[in-house]
Amino acid sequence: MSTASHQSDSHYIHGASPAEQERLSLLNDLLNRACLKEMNLEIEARILDVGSGLGQFTRLMARSMSTPPVVLGIERSTEQLASAHRYAEEAQEAQIVQFRQGDATGLPLEKEEWGSFDLVHARFVLEHVPDPSVVVSQMAAACRMGGRLVLADDDHDIFRLHPACPGFAELWEAYIRSYDRLGNDPYVGRRLVQLLHDAGMQNIRNTFIFFGDCAGNDTFETFADNLIGVIVGAKEVIIKHQLLDKDYFENAITALHQWKKRPDAALWYAMNWAEGTKRG
């Protein structure tokens, strides 16, 4: 996510610690195949991945097509960018993608690159910027006429787990409010269609990518640990802004670790997805 004037305005709430990098990597493993299926890539020759993070989905898009496209990932975090380069080298896929440091609110594109991409994609980016319309406007400008713009992001209000976990309702509400305190929108997922419409996109459609699981499945603990990880990543903001006191926070996290071991535990979540076509 490139202009220096915008970088200080964007707040990625979870930080860039090694634990956070590991969580993001596992999150990619959980979501990428479903996202790729929904994207339905066919003839895209040039793809721009905005907020490409660790680059796992960027590389998946590149290798999923019979004719490899030109794929460029833009990422603000130097830590994540370094990891993206390392993962690409380890997978022997460095030649199928390009990564570039920059900010989603001011994309670092060359003059000839503007308006040249068949597909422009952003996932989990808009919830971390104070004005998502600026990002979507940049993405639209990068998209060619007839190309697609794809947005995937969160509406944190739709999360549910069952049976009830002691302290979780208050913990989740504090997590949601931590976005407010940074000037970001925890409900931006419900606004994706509006953002596409305001950017002049046509033929807009929307759907969900299911992001949940239940006890008894091999992936359930990973889903539960991701939930715990995103909340722990916001701990500093939650405590600083007195959304919860430290003891309550720690006790609620402990309860979540116990809850995930229940044989009847289940969580439901969905990532909002919307896409539109750029028309002249």
Q: Which of 76, 26, 57 is nearest to 119 (CA)?
A: 57
pLDDT, tens only, 231-246:
999 999 999 999 999 9
Residue 47 phi, psi dihedral angles, 5° rounding: -125, 135
Percent of the chain with pLDDT over 70: 90
Model pLDDT, residue 2: 33
Model pLDDT, residue 25: 66
Model pLDDT, residue 142: 98
DSSP-derived 3-state class of residue 138: helix
pLDDT, tens only, 58-113:
999 999 988 889 999 999 999 999 999 999 999 999 999 999 999 999 999 999 99
119's enclosing H/E stretch is strand 117-123
- Separation CA 121–CA 136 (nearest Å): 10
Examine the pLDDT at 255 and tell me if it is beyond 90.
yes
For the domain covering 4-278, report its CATH number. Answer: 3.40.50.150
pTM: 0.89
Q: Which of 136, 47, 49, 55 is nearest to 91 (CA)?
A: 55
Examine the pLDDT at 11 and tell me if it is beyond 80.
no
- Separation CA 274–CA 192 (nearest Å): 6
* Cis previous bond, 163, omega within 30: yes
Examine the pLDDT at 170 and tell me if it is beyond 60.
yes
Helices assigned H by DSSP within the chain:
4-7, 18-39, 56-63, 78-90, 132-142, 168-181, 192-198, 220-233, 235-240, 246-259
Q: Which of 156, 223, 236 is nearest to 188 (CA)?
A: 156
Query: What tokens were used for 68?
Result: 């490899």
What distance, in Å, lies between the first and last C-alpha atoms of the chain? 26
How sure is the predictor about 30, in pLDDT bands with cuts at 50, 70 and 90?
confident
Name every residue whose Cβ is closer than 8 Å to that of residue 91 and which is 6 or more positions away in sequence. Answer: 59
- Separation CA 22–CA 14 (nearest Å): 12
How sure is the predictor about 123, in pLDDT bands with cuts at 50, 70 and 90?
very high
